[in-house]
Structure formats: C-alpha cells, structure tokens
Amino acid sequence: MKRLYLFTLFVLTGCTVGPDYERPAIDLPAQYPIKTVEGDAAVAAEWWTLYRDPTLEDLVAATRANNADIRIAAAQVEEAEALLRQARAALFPEITGGLQRSRTRVSALTAPPPIGGFPLVRPDTRLFASTNFELDFWGRLGRAGEAARAGLLGSRYAKEVVTLTLGSLTAQTYFGLRSLDAQLAVLEQTIRTRRESVELARARLDAGLASELDLYQAQAALSDALVQRRDTERSRALLEHELGQLTGRPDLKLAAGDLFTLPVPPTPPVGLPSTLLERRPDIRAAEQTMIAANAQIGIARAAMFPAISLTGLVGAQSAAFSDLLASGSSIWSLGFALALPIFDAGRREALVEQTEARRRQALASYQRSIESAFREVSDALVNLEQTGASEADLREQLQAARNVLQLSSERYEAGYSPYLEVLDAQRTANEAELAFVRNRQARLAFSVDLMKALGGGWRAE
C-alpha cells in the first residue's frame, strides 16, 4: 500500500523541467556618490504630506482615487488575478456532466440485415459525467502557474509605478502652478514700478528735463512686463487644466497661493545605501518579467516530452428515460493516453530557443532598470544639493539687484543718470526676482524626483 501511494505521488508530481529562478547579481556601488547631503534618516511612504499643504494633499488623494490611468492599472491587476486562478485550476481535473437523448433508425437493407425482432427505430438515453485530466508529469502546468503568478505581481508593481508617477506629476504640476503664482506677484510689482516710471518720464518731459526717448523706453518696458504677465497667466491656466485631468476634476479651480510657504522635505543622510533601489516598483516589476520568462523556458521544454493524460466516464444508459436509474443501466470507462512528439522539424527546439532569448532580454531589461534607477537617484541628489546651494547666491543677487534699482531710480530723478541705467536695473531686478522663484520651484521639483527615484520615501533600515 505504501509503495502504491509513493508511485501515485510520483506520477502526479513528476519532475519539473526547466531552470529554477535565481536573482542575478548586479554590480553597483554600495552607496551613492554624494558626500554633502545631510538630513533625516527616514521619510514616510506618504511623502507628499511632508510639504504640509492641505491643497496638495487633497490633489494627490484625488489623483490616486480618480485618475483613469490608475483605474486601468487596477483593472489589469484584476485580469492578472483571474489568469493566475485559471492557470492554477489547470492542475485539477475538469469534470463535465451531460444528458443525451437520441432516436436512431437503422436501415432494413443492410448486409447482414437487422436481426429479426429488433425495431428499426432505437431510442437511447445517457446520463454521464466525464473527465480528461493531463498529468503534470514534467511540470508544464506548474511552470505556467509560476509565470501567471509573476505576471500578477508584475501587474501589481506596474500599478504602483503608475500611482507613484502620477502622484509625483501632480505634486510637480502643483509646484509649477504655485511658482507661476509667485511670478505673477513679481510681475505685478514690476508693472507698478514701470507704470510709475512712465509717469515720471512723462512729468520730466513736460518739465523739459527729459527727452521723448525716455518716455518711449519706459512705455516699451511697461508693455514688455504686461506681455510677460499675460504669458504667465496663460501658463498657469494650462497647468490648472492639467491638474484637473490628473485629479479627475475637469472644472478644478485653485486660488493663488504662496510658493515659499512650502518646505523642502528632508534629504537622505550621508552614505545612503544603494540597496534602497530594491524598493522601486519598476525594478520589482522588471524582476517579475524575468521570473515569468524563466518559467516559460520550462513550459517550452516540457512540450518536448510525452504528454500523459487520463480519461474517465461514469453514468447510466437506457432506451427509456425512466430506466436511467434502474439496475443494470450503469456505464463507465477508464482510459490512458500517451502522446509523444516524434518529428516536428525542430519546431519545439525553436520555441525553447525563443524563450531562452526572451529570458536574456528580460535580464538585460532588469539590469538596465537598476542602472537607470541608480542614475536617477544620483541625479536627483545632485540637483537637490545644487539648487539648495544656489538659493543663497540667488538671494544675494536679488538683494543687490533691488539696491541697484533703487539707487538708479534716485539718480535718474535727481538728474545724475540717464534713463537707460534705470531700464537696465529694472530688467536685472525682474530677472533676479523670477530666477529666485524658479530656483525654489526647481528645488521642490527635485525633491519629488528623489522621492520617486527611491520608490516613494525611504526607511533608515
């Protein structure tokens, strides 16, 4: 009895062909090559809350709940779950039930003729349950389940990629909108200053202290600022529309806000380990693609071996429907089938070679995703470090430009300087104001790049 049990177990399990998956080793530096970055050792997964802006938190929550791309990714996960259930169900017998009722007339002129006494019209009724079960002797179905499971995990990680990407895009678009709010405030001040310059130039012209050239230059400078404001308002409206699409709120309207109330979140500590890359969902999805490709090799190799299947039928048969359950009406059958490929002109070998080539492609894609991720983190750290260092320089530049504008205006009013110096000071001050605003926006955007590059926050361990 024990030997029969072991033999049955061996037949049912068989031997799985094809290579078992092993994660490949990718050579990367142990730490990122950044030495001047300082900060806290952990950032929560809900990284957008670090900016302490209720509007931003509401927008990211709306994106995660309403965005159509995220809903598509969620439906793809559900599809992958159903495919996995289908693959696992193939390991079990499929039982089919049926009821057949027929009436058949045989010819009276056949040779030999029908036996006398038997009617030419013969009714037949069958009630049965049948099965056709393939024994997974070579592990083909098991490998198919392994590939389906990898596909499911890959689709889940792909959904995380979409969610992280759209959340990051929402935050960066919001920062861009707030930057345009700050730029509009700068331009409003510039327009007021240049309108005052126009009035001053006109008054000096009327008093005979200046030429028409000063007035025309002042009017041209004012017109330039007005055009800048119109372009900035147009850009803000476009970003507002983009946020409406991302959040699933096409009629979204946002009041103006202050860019400089948004804090720059903490950066990683010195010596951040590159093993944090394993948290990235795109890398984990690439690995699952590699696992699925590895399982496909086993499926292709199993097709080169004999296919073993069992068939069975049990039921009842009678001429009259009322006799189906009568004594002696039972029928049954058991069958065994073995299908062995003999000649296919190398088709199955070609399929194996195809799957092996796909695994090599998946390995290369996995390696490329890791290398790209390492570069993205390093780039984000450099960008964040440099924009942070530039902020102090830009603040000094801005203060100097404001001082130059004030002194040149005073000298022009006193008649010591030409208006050209005022125009140059106004242009320099306006550019310095806008550069300071844009640098803060870039710093915030690069902090989001870092969050995204590290898979959405990080932990000290």
Is residue 28 over pLDDT 90?
Answer: no
Distinct helix (H) and strand (E) counts, the chain = 8, 4
**Would you state the pLDDT for residue 449?**
93
Does 115 reside within a domain? no
How many structural domains is the chain composed of? Answer: 1
CA distances from 97 to 124, 127, 129, 204, 216 (A): 17, 8, 4, 104, 95
Here the tokens at position 117 are 């006494």
The alpha carbon of residue 431 and the mean position of all alpha carbons in its chain are separated, in whole angstroms, by: 38
**Would you state the pLDDT for residue 216?**
93
Average pLDDT across the chain, whole number: 87
Is residue 39 over pLDDT 80?
Answer: no
Residue bearing the bigger pLDDT, 240 or 10: 240
Cβ(455)–Cβ(276) under 8 Å? Answer: yes
Q: What is the mean pLDDT of residues 123-150?
A: 90
Does 349 reside within a domain? no
Over residues 249-289, the pLDDT tens digits come to 999 999 999 999 999 877 666 656 666 777 889 999 999 99
Does 135 reside within a domain? no
Report the share of the chain in percent with pLDDT over 70. Answer: 90
Give the Cβ contact number of residue 217 at 10 Å.
19
Exposed (0-12), middle (13-18) or buried (19+): which is 91, by Cβ within 10 Å? middle
Reported as type and span, the H/E element at residue 318 is strand 307-318
**Would you state the pLDDT for residue 92?**
87
Name the nearest CA neighbour of 423 among 244, 257, 237, 225.
225
Does 401 reside within a domain? yes
Q: How sure is the predictor about 458, in pLDDT bands with cuts at 50, 70 and 90?
A: low
Is residue 12 over pLDDT 90?
Answer: no
**Would you state the pLDDT for residue 7?**
39
CATH of the domain at 273: 1.20.1600.10
Q: How sure is the predictor about 1, in pLDDT bands with cuts at 50, 70 and 90?
A: very low
Does 105 reside within a domain? no
**Would you state the pLDDT for residue 9?**
41
The residue written with tokens 């590699």 in the block is: 290
Q: What is the mean pLDDT of residues 1-21?
A: 57
Q: What is the mean pLDDT of residues 343-362?
A: 93
Give the Cβ contact number of residue 199 at 10 Å.
12
**Would you state the pLDDT for residue 273?**
65
**Would you state the pLDDT for residue 278?**
76
**Would you state the pLDDT for residue 156?**
95
Is residue 394 over pLDDT 90?
Answer: yes
Over residues 371-391, the pLDDT tens digits come to 898 889 889 888 988 999 999
Here the tokens at position 25 are 């080793």
Domain containing 291: what range?
26-92+140-306+357-453
Helices 140-206, 212-247: axis angle to 10 degrees equals: 160
The alpha carbon of residue 191 and the mean position of all alpha carbons in its chain are separated, in whole angstroms, by: 44
**Would you state the pLDDT for residue 90?**
87
Over residues 197-248, the pLDDT tens digits come to 899 889 988 888 888 998 999 999 999 999 999 999 999 999 999 999 999 9
Cβ(256)–Cβ(21) under 8 Å? Answer: no
Does 148 reside within a domain? yes
Is residue 53 over pLDDT 80?
Answer: yes
Q: How sure is the predictor about 15, in pLDDT bands with cuts at 50, 70 and 90?
A: confident
Cβ(290)–Cβ(106) under 8 Å? Answer: no
**Would you state the pLDDT for residue 415?**
82
Q: What is the mean pLDDT of residues 296-317?
A: 91
**Nearest-5° Cα angle at 17, 14 to 20:** 115
214-228, 316-330, 372-386, 415-429: which is most confident: 214-228
Does 352 reside within a domain? no
Does 110 reside within a domain? no
Range with lowest mean pLDDT among 41-50, 85-94, 143-152, 427-436: 41-50
